[in-house]
Amino acid sequence: MRYELIVFDWDGTILDSPSAIAACIQASCGELGLEVPERSRASHVIGLGIEELMRIAAPALAPERYPDFVAAYRRHFRGREQSMQLYPGMRALLEEVRQKHSLAIATAKSRRGLERAFDATGLRGYFRASRCADETTPKPHPAMLLELMEELAVKPQGMLMIGDTSHDLEMARAAGVDALAVSYGAHSEDGLRACGPLGCFADVASLAQWLRANG
């Protein structure tokens, strides 16, 4: 077994949520009277910490209005949350992979958001540990992965990161960890491949095939 611990991003990797998240970013900007970012820019910031997200998606927003944006975003997100579903085949993949590997989550979600997602999907028991953006330094900083290594006593060569954004892949590279990309989430295949993952997969089935052969 090559990897002792496999770390998954959540939004755009496990949960089919990027289009909803981008729409929430756009709606929040419009509500606050800001320029509404194009879908590509709204999608690019998915996976970043909330302050970095606001700086890029809403550059005209004054720092003292950040709480207003956060409140608007959370309201729009909660309104769409119940409609978000796991990607087809994801539950079966996690069930299969956890038979041979420990699993963890590294996500830009808040802890409260991840706990709600665990409750909604019933996946809490699949993961030995998790890190959220409001608990440590957000992606692409390597803190999440470094902390998971320490908590679970795993060396970099024993960890694999799976994500749908360049932020996930840059985090893995900074931590000295192998990474896989999925192109069915927030970022384009070209942008993901530019970060040098071991593989880039267009669907859950091809990801599962790689993990069976190389995990």
| Active-site residue set | 9
Q: Measured between alpha carbons, how far is 25 from 72 in angstroms, rounded to an integer?
A: 9
The DSSP code sequence of 175-193 is: HT-EEEEETTSSS-HHHHH
Sign of the dihedral through C-alpha 53, 54, 55, 57: positive
Sign of the dihedral through C-alpha 160, 164, 168, 173: positive
Q: Which helix H or strand E contains 152, and what residues bound it? A: helix 143-152
Least Cα distance to 146 among 106, 101, 93 occurs for 106
